[in-house]
Chain A
Amino acid sequence: AQKVTQAQTEISVVEKEDVTLDCVYETRDTTYYLFWYKQPPSGELVFLIRRNSFDEQNEISGRYSWNFQKSTSSFNFTITASQVVDSAVYFCALRGDTGFQKLVFGTGTRLLVSP
């Protein structure tokens, strides 16, 4: 069974602070995919990144970076120099690779960035 844990329910920061959102996952599959989605106040789910289990290289995209560590089953997300527009709920998700696999979501972390 797949499981994703986002222990941080809500994080509040002041603009320009760096913030890291934690994600820990459980799976028995040797191949799997990890995702991050952003849900702004408008409600849509916006895809941010997909990472394959066989690619542990960290990724940076502008102010966003992701740290994937198989040894600790973690896929953490860091926003550098946060902005008010980053305020949203962020979901980490996992999809296995055995048969037809569904995307399993964590409970989300609400990020509040104040001016």
Chain B
Amino acid sequence: DAGVIQSPRHEVTEMGQEVTLRCKPISGHNSLFWYRQTMMRGLELLIYFNNNVPIDDSGMPEDRFSAKMPNASFSTLKIQPSEPRDSAVYFCASSLADRGGYTFGSGTRLTVV
């Protein structure tokens, strides 16, 4: 298994631009999570899906952030418009909901200038 695949690995964009982060979970996993890591706030959960349905998006910082999971093998996290304070590493993780083990992707390092 290739693990959780995230793209791009690095993204540099200008303030105001739209940014889309992508994630392919492990085949067979039915839960998907988006986390953000910053020095100030550590690892924080933004949103998670179970069977492609958003279950808890209370961690999404504001309306500029949106996430979708159109099918079991793909999810996107979109920021529009992006701001410098969105600069962080964004991780995607997947799991079998009742197994408790989470596998993380390599992350996307986002820099908004």
A binding-site residues for B, Cβ under 8 Å: 33, 35, 37, 43-45, 47, 50, 52, 91, 95, 100, 102-105, 107-108
Contacts and interface: CB of A to CB of B under 8 A. Distances in A.
The B interface is mostly helix, strand or loop, or mixed, namely strand
B48 A102 contact: yes
Contact of B33 (A33, A44, A50, A103): A103
A47 B102 contact: yes
A100 B43 contact: no
Interface in B11-70: 31, 33, 42-43, 45, 48, 50, 55-56
19 contacts: A35-B101, A37-B104, A44-B107, A45-B91, A45-B93, A47-B101, A47-B103, A47-B104, A50-B100, A50-B101, A91-B43, A100-B50, A100-B55, A100-B56, A102-B33, A102-B56, A103-B93, A107-B42, A108-B43
B100 A95 contact: yes
With most chain A CB atoms within 10 A of its CB, the pick from B55, B101, B106 is: B101
Nearest to B59: A102
Contacts of B104: 37, 44-45, 47
The A interface is mostly helix, strand or loop, or mixed, namely strand
Contacts of B100: 33, 35, 50, 52, 95
A43 B42 contact: no
B22 to A, nearest CB: 17
A51 to B, nearest CB: 10
With most chain B CB atoms within 10 A of its CB, the pick from A45, A52, A95, A104 is: A45
B30 to A, nearest CB: 11
B110 interface: no
B56 A43 contact: no
A106 to B, nearest CB: 8
Nearest to A95: B100
A60 to B, nearest CB: 19
Contacts of A50: 100-101
A105 B42 CA distance: 8
B45 A102 contact: yes
Contacts of B102: 35, 47, 103
B89 interface: yes
